[in-house]
Amino acid sequence: MKKNEQIVSYQGKKILIGVMIWLLVPTLIFNLGCKTTKEAVKPISTDDGIITFNFLQLNDVYEIAPLENGTVGGMARVATLRKRLTNENPNTLTVLAGDFLSPSLIGTIKQNGKRIKGAQMVEVMNATGIDLVTFGNHEFDIKEQELQDRINESKFTWLGTSVRRINTKTGKKSKFYQETDSTLNYVPDTWIWEISDEDGTSIKIGFFGATLDMNQVKYVEYLDVTNTCLEAVQSLSLQTDVVIGLTHLNVAEDLELAAKLPQVPLLMGGHDHHHIRESVGNTLVTKADANAKTAYVHTLTYNKNTRKTTVSSKLIDINDQLHSDEEVKSIVDKWKRIMDDNITKIVDQPYAEIYYTKVSLDARESVNRKEQTNIGRMINEAMMKVAKRDVDLSFFNSGSIRIDDQLKGPITPVDVFRILPFGGPLAEIDIKGDLLKKVLNESKNRVGQGAYLQRKKVFYSDQKETWMVNGAPLDPEKEYHAITTEFLLKGIDLKTLHLNDPGITKIYRPDPDDPTDLRNNVILTFIDYLIKLPSERD
């Protein structure tokens, strides 16, 4: 019985399993059937209301080729990074937050009788795939028609939120525009980027720009940044899901603006040449290092259900870890050949190391136009060394330093050309004390401008309330021997300093046919000085 019981029991289990299988089979068939029907009606993925997108942020880029012996920067490397990001997520937008048409050494070189003036930059930016830019102060360094040509050549979108163009011939004010054969396309105050992802989530992202009003030129009107930005954001908020700023302001102005725009998660800024990441409330302000030494990659996720945006930002080094995009590199190389052809007319080995500095040489405009700097002191020392006799003082206009960057490491003749792209001869002068006083006072009042002087052996003593020249208070009756630039004597920068002024009793000019007279070109003056300086390389 026991055996039978066992058999029964065994059979019972068998039956039970069999019943279970029969119960399961139709269920499986039903489920499979259902799934097949569902697939036919709707794709597997559905709109989850969440979308992720990237911004690749650059700002203040004047140099198209890598710097510091090829170790950092370079737009061809940026192009590779852009391609990589776009491959990972097609919703990638590449932006440049102002300052790219000037200053640069290439820009000052003439081609076909015209100065290049940023044409090299626009061609490279077009090839790199820049999508959106805002005006920086340096865009107005070039002439009205030159800027018009650059806007016409660009394939990217400009944001002109806080600037207007004044036609200097007619006086008519308008937005900036791009001219085509038949139409004028006005540069917008705001721009909307519409994107969607694979599961069908789609959103609109609105952009506004801002430009600080430091470069006062006749063809530009500056609007109030705060008011225009608030208006732009208000209007964009009604039409879009997310609003983003592309600004060219001082960091203090950016933070002030951020405080007024809590609904804006990100202000991608420029103008400050070193990387910055600060936040006010939920608004993040970022700036990358100038000349594409770094770039910011922002990955944003927007949730349509919660209307929340999250921002994750990474500062990426642009260096030899990124290979150079071939197409962009060939354009960069073309411009480099044009530059080298011009430089080798003046120096034999443009890329030889002539000096190595451990200390940053501060050639930023924001500093040089306001205070005495290490590079200003060095250039003045170089000028004093080439003078034919001892000078009481040396000075030049800070505006002749154009590189707007800090230099560290190896220095080459090309760097000197980049620091002082206009070059030009020096002149020694005998100047009466009373005129010198007027010149120094005018320069002191021109703080923040190119007419502010970098000087040596002369400073203002607050204690004595007088200028001290060569160790003694300035004597209006005395005649001083000074070295300066021929450019300054033209009276363009400082109105009080003009070669025809009777206060200048004698001008000693270099012999243009004497190649050993280094006063013929301040670039050669400074190169010679750096070669003779003990290198700081270990």
Q: In the numeric block, which tokens belong to residue 169? A: 């011939």
369 lines the binding site for Zn ion (CB under 5 A): no
Stretch that binds Zn ion, among 98-106, 163-171, 348-356, 424-432 (CB under 5 A): 98-106
Site for Zn ion in 261-280 (CB under 5 A): 271
DSSP 148-171: HHHHHH--SEEE-TTEEEE-TTT-
CA atoms lying within 13 Å on the CB side of residue 517: 16
- 262 neighbors 283 (Cβ within 8 angstroms): yes
C-alpha dist (Å) from residue 537 to 237, 354, 382, 419, 533: 55, 11, 20, 21, 12
DSSP state of 101: S
Residue 364: CB atoms within 10 Å: 20
Q: Where are the extended beta strands (E) located within 177-249?
A: 177-179, 184-186, 190-196, 202-211, 220-222, 242-248
**Between 77 and 271, whose beta carbon lies closer to Zn ion?**
271
| Nearest approach, Cβ of residue 214 and Zn ion (Å) | 7
Q: Which is nearer to Zn ion, 189 or 272 (CB)?
A: 272
Parallel/antiparallel/unpaired status of strands 202-211 and 220-222: unpaired
DSSP string, 26-85: HHHHHHHHHHHHHHHHS-S----SEEEEEEEEE-----SS-BTTTTB--HHHHHHHHHHH
137 touching Zn ion, by CB under 5 A: yes
Alpha carbon of 162 to those of 133, 187, 432: distances in Å? 13, 11, 46
Measured from the CB atom, the residue of 269 and 510 that comes closer to Zn ion is 269
Q: How far is the CB of 168 from Zn ion (least distance, A)?
A: 23
> Footprint of Zn ion on residues 424-463 (CB under 5 A)?
none
CA-to-CA distance for 101 and 297, rounded, in angstroms?
Answer: 23
Q: Which is nearer to Zn ion, 97 or 383 (CB)?
A: 97
Task: Tell the smallest beta-carbon distance from residue 382 to Zn ion (Å).
Answer: 27
- Residue of 440, 367, 434 lying closest to 407 (CA atoms): 367
Question: 211 vs 240, which CB is nearer to Zn ion?
Answer: 211
- What SS3 string covers 441-479? HHHHHCCCCCCCEEEECEEEECCCCEEEECCEECCCCCE
- Considering only the stretches 43-51, 96-104, 278-286, 483-491, report the one whose residues sit in contact with Zn ion under the rule CB under 5 A: 96-104
Least Cβ distance, residue 137 to Zn ion (angstroms): 4
Nearest CB to Zn ion, comparing residues 249 and 264: 249
Question: Distance between CA 432 and CA 452 in Å, rounded?
Answer: 20
Q: What is the DSSP letter of 94?
A: E
Q: Which of residues 93 and 212 has its CB atom nearest to Zn ion in the complex?
A: 212
Cβ(57)–Cβ(268) under 8 Å?
yes
Q: Which is nearer to Zn ion, 147 or 343 (CB)?
A: 147
Binding residue for Zn ion, selected from 57, 96, 99, 141, defined by CB under 5 A: 99
- Residue corresponding to tokens 């050639």: 363
Kindly state the smallest distance separating residue 146's Cβ from Zn ion, in Å. 18
Stretch that binds Zn ion, among 2-10, 137-145, 273-281, 423-431 (CB under 5 A): 137-145
- The per-residue DSSP string of 479-497 comes to EEEEEEETTGGGTSS-TT-
Residue 136 vs 160, nearer CB to Zn ion? 136
- Residue 440: which of 419, 461, 420 has the closest Cα? 461
Determine the interface stretch with Zn ion among 97-105, 110-118, 143-151, 154-162 (rule: CB under 5 A): 97-105
Please identify, using beta-carbon distances, which residue of 123 and 405 lies nearer to Zn ion: 405
Q: How far apart are CB 90 and Zn ion at their closest, in Å?
A: 31
* Phi, psi dihedral angles at 476 (to 5 degrees): -60, -25
Report, in Å, the least distance between residue 266 CB and Zn ion.
Answer: 19
Stretch of 114-122, 131-139, 216-224, 277-285 lying at the interface with Zn ion (CB under 5 A): 131-139
Least separation, in Å, of the C-beta of 399 and Zn ion?
Answer: 15
Helix (H/G/I), strand (E/B), else coil: 426:
strand
What tokens does 388 get? Answer: 């034919």
Task: Report if residue 73 touches Zn ion, rule: CB under 5 A.
Answer: no
Q: What amino acid occupies position 525?
A: T
Question: By rule CB under 5 A, what count of residues binds Zn ion?
Answer: 4
What are the tokens at 111?
């081609």
For Zn ion, which is the closer residue by CB, 63 or 99? 99
- Going from the C-alpha of 481 to that of each of 108, 456, 472, the distances in angstroms are 32, 13, 14
136 lies in the site for Zn ion, by CB under 5 A: yes
Q: What's the min distance (Å) between Cβ of 59 and Zn ion?
A: 9
Range in contact with Zn ion (rule: CB under 5 A) among 86-94, 133-141, 258-266, 460-468: 133-141
Q: Considering the complex, what minimum distance in angstroms separates the CB of residue 457 from Zn ion?
A: 32
Q: Is the peptide bond before 103 cis (omega within 30 degrees of 0)?
A: yes
Nearer to Zn ion, 136 or 510 (CB): 136
Q: Which two tokens stand for residue 69?
A: 């012996």
CB nearer Zn ion, residue 138 or residue 438:
138
Asked if residue 196 lies in contact with residue 42, where contact means CB atoms within 8 angstroms, the answer is no
**Stretch binding Zn ion (CB under 5 A), from 129-137, 140-148, 193-201, 342-350:** 129-137
Nearest-CB residue for Zn ion? 271
245 binds Zn ion (CB under 5 A): no
Q: Which stretch binds Zn ion (CB under 5 A): 14-22, 130-138, 165-173, 220-228?
A: 130-138
Nearer to Zn ion, 82 or 271 (CB): 271
- In this structure, what is the dihedral angle of CA atoms 97, 101, 102, 104, given to the nearest 10 degrees? 110
Contact residues: Zn ion, CB under 5 A: 99, 136-137, 271
